[in-house]
C-alpha cells in the first residue's frame, strides 16, 4: 500500500494542438474541499477557463510546470507525458494521464520511480464507469465526426422541401457501434440523415436499431464475436474479408462514412480498402476515427485530408480538442471521480486490494515500491 498526503497539481498541456485541460474549475471546487489544488498558470486558457476561474474555485495558481512539481505530489494532465516531462517529474509522484497503452511511457515512468495511473486502463466495471475517459471523449469524438464529415460532402444531411424542389436526405454509414459510433449514429439521425450502422457484434445490432438506424452485418455474425469488456474480438482472415465485402457492397450508396472500429492494444482492423473508397460517389467523405491506431481505411493518413477520386478521407486523431470546454468538463469529471475514489482522509491511497488502482498501474502498488527501492 502507498499512502501520501495528497496535493493535486494540474499541468498545462504541451502536446501540439491539445486544447483540453485535465481538471476544470468546477472540479477544483469539489476537490479543494478535501485536498489542496495547485494549477499551472494558463492551464485552462485554451479551453476557455481563466486563472481567475480556478482561483475563485479554490486553487492556487503557480507559474510553470516546475512549480507544480515542487508543490504537488499527485500530478494530473490529459495527454501521455513526453520523455522530457517524465525526466523532470520528481520520483515518487503519482502521475495521472493518458499513455497507459504506450509501452515506452510505461517503461520510462517506472524507471523514473513514478506511479503512473494510465487512464486507458480503467477497468470496465460498474463502479469505474464514472472514471472512464475513453468513453467520455469518444462521445464527443462521435458527435464531432458527423459535423466534420458534413462540412466535406457535397450534400446536406436532412431532407428539405422547398419551392425550388426537394433535397433528399444524405445517407450516412457508421462502422462500429461502440460509444463513438453510437453517438455518431444519434447525431446524424438528429440532423436528419438516413443512417446505417455496421458492426460484427450481435448485441450492437439492437443498439443501432434502437437509435432508428438500419443494421448492416456480415453473414457470419454471431454471439461469439464479442470479447471481454464489450469490444469486438479480433477477426479471422475469412471473417475480415467477409466484413470488407459487405461494407464495399454498401459504399456506393453512401454520402458520408464514419469509421470507429478499434481493438484495445492492437492495430485498428482494416475494413475499407482503396477499392472501397473508389466506389464511393464523388463529393462523399469518410471520417476515420481509428486513424491514430492505423485506421479502418487504407487511404487514411493521421491528421491529413486525402482526396481520392473526388472522395475526401479525413483522419483526425484528437477531435475532442475541437470542443475543448465540454471535452474538458467530461474529462475533468472522470479525473475528479478517480481522485475522490483514491483519496481517503486527505491521503492518496494506492492499495494492493483496490482493483481500480491495480488496473491503472498495471501492477500491484507494493510491486512498484519494491522496484523503486
The percent of residues in the chain predicted with pLDDT above 70, rounded, is 95
Domain range summary for the chain, segments of one domain joined by +: 2-132+324-372, 138-322
Strand partners, 173: 196, 257
> Hey, how many other C-beta atoms are within 10 angstroms of the C-beta on 261?
28
Burial of 143 (0-12, 13-18, 19+ CB in 10 A): buried
pLDDT in tens, 301-333: 999 999 999 999 999 999 999 999 999 999 999
- Identify whether 54 is a catalytic site residue: no
Q: Which residues does residue 2 pair with via DSSP β-bridges, in sequence order? A: 350
Grid coordinates representing 87 are 525526466
pLDDT digits (tens, 9 = 90+) for 104-125: 999 999 999 999 999 999 999 9
Residues in the chain: 373
Strand 94-97 with 74-76, pairing: parallel
Looking at 124, 190, 233, 301, which residue is catalytic?
124
Nearest one of 324, 318, 283 to 151, comparing CA atoms: 283
pLDDT of residue 56: 98
Q: How far apart are CA 331 and CA 303, in angstroms?
A: 22
135 labelled catalytic = yes
CB of 293 within 8 A of CB of 268?
yes
> 93-112 b/e with 16+ CB inside 10 Å = b?
bbbbbbbbbeeebbebbbeb
Burial 170-184 (b: 16+ CB within 10 A, else e): bbbbbbbbbbbbbbb
Q: Is 20 a catalytic residue?
A: no
- The CATH architecture to which 138-322 belongs is 3-Layer(aba) Sandwich (3.40)
pLDDT tens, position by position, 183-198: 999 999 999 999 999 9
Query: Do 43 and 10 touch, CB atoms closer than 8 A?
Result: yes
- Cβ atoms of 152 and 312 within 8 Å: the answer is yes
The per-residue pLDDT for 55 is 98
pLDDT for position 223:
52
Contact 110, 366 (CB under 8 A): no
Query: Across all residues in the chain, what is the average pLDDT?
Result: 93
HSE (CB half, 13 Å, CA atoms) of 92? 10
Given 22, 40, 97, 135, the catalytic residue? 135
Whether 2-132+324-372 and 138-322 share one fold: the answer is: yes
User: What φ, ψ does residue 178 adopt, rounded to 5°?
Assistant: -85, -155
The Cα 93–Cα 76 span in angstroms is 10
User: C-alpha angle with apex 312: 310 to 318, nearest 5 degrees?
Assistant: 175
**Is 54:30 a contact under the CB 8 Å cutoff?**
no
* 334 and 132 Cβ atoms separated by less than 8 Å: yes
Instruction: State the catalytic residue, choosing from 231, 240, 242, 325.
Output: 231
SS3 355: helix
- Which residue out of 129, 130, 242, 325 is catalytically annotated? 129
Residue 312 pairs with which residues in a beta bridge?
285, 307
115 a catalytic residue = no
End-to-end Cα distance, the chain: 14
SS3 207: helix
Is 124 considered catalytic here?
Answer: yes
Per-residue pLDDT reduced to its tens digit, 206-239? 999 999 999 999 887 655 555 555 566 667 788 8
What is the pTM assigned to this prediction? 0.93
State yes or no: pLDDT of 59 exceeds 60.
yes
Q: The CATH number of 2-132+324-372 is which of 2.40.50.90, 3.40.50.720, 3.40.50.980, 3.30.420.40?
A: 3.40.50.720
User: Are residues 25 and 43 in contact, defined by beta-carbon separation less than 8 angstroms?
Assistant: no
Amino acid at each position: 500500500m502507498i499512502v501520501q498526503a495528497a496535493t493535486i497539481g494540474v499541468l498545462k498541456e504541451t502536446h501540439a494542438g491539445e486544447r483540453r485541460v485535465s481538471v476544470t474549475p468546477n472540479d477544483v471546487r469539489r476537490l479543494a474541499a478535501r485536498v489542496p489544488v495547485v494549477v499551472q498558470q494558463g492551464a485552462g486558457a485554451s479551453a476557455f477557463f481563466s486563472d481567475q476561474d480556478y482561483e475563485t474555485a479554490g486553487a492556487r495558481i503557480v507559474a510553470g510546470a516546475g512549480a507544480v512539481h515542487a508543490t504537488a505530489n499527485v500530478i494530473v494532465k490529459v495527454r501521455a507525458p513526453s520523455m522530457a516531462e517524465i525526466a523532470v517529474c520528481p520520483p515518487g509522484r503519482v502521475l495521472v494521464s493518458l499513455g497507459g497503452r504506450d509501452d515506452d511511457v510505461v517503461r520510462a515512468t517506472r524507471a523514473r520511480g513514478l506511479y503512473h495511473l494510465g487512464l486507458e486502463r480503467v477497468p470496465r466495471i460498474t463502479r469505474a464507469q464514472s472514471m472512464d475517459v475513453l468513453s467520455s471523449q469518444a462521445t464527443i469524438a462521435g458527435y464531432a465526426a458527423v459535423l466534420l464529415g458534413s462540412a466535406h460532402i457535397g450534400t446536406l444531411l436532412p431532407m428539405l422541401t422547398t419551392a425550388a424542389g426537394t433535397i433528399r436526405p444524405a445517407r450516412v454509414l457508421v462502422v462500429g457501434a461502440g460509444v463513438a459510433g453510437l453517438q455518431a449514429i444519434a447525431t446524424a439521425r438528429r440532423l436528419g440523415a438516413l443512417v446505417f450502422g455496421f458492426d460484427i457484434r450481435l448485441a450492437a445490432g439492437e443498439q443501432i436499431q434502437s437509435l432508428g438506424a438500419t443494421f448492416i452485418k456480415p453473414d457470419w455474425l454471431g454471439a461469439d464475436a464479442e470479447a471481454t469488456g464489450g469490444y469486438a474480438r479480433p477477426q479471422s482472415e475469412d471473417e475480415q474479408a467477409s466484413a470488407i465485402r459487405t461494407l464495399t457492397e454498401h459504399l456506393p450508396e453512401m454520402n458520408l462514412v464514419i469509421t470507429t472500429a478499434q481493438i484495445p492494444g492492437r492495430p485498428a482492423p482494416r475494413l475499407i480498402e482503396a477499392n472501397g473508397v473508389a466506389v464511393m460517389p464523388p463529393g462523399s467523405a469518410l471520417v476515420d476515427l481509428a486513424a491514430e491506431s492505423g485506421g479502418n481505411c487504407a487511404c487514411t493518413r493521421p491528421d491529413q485530408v486525402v482526396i481520392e477520386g473526388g472522395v475526401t478521407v479525413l483522419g483526425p486523431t484528437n477531435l475532442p480538442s475541437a470542443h475543448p470546454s465540454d471535452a474538458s468538463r467530461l474529462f475533468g469529471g472522470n479525473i475528479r471521480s478517480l481522485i475522490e475514489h483514491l483519496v481517503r482522509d486527505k491521503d492518496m491511497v494506492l492499495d494492493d486490494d483496490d482493483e481500480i488502482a491495480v488496473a491503472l498501474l498495471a501492477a500491484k502498488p507494493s510491486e512498484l515500491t519494491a522496484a523503486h527501492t
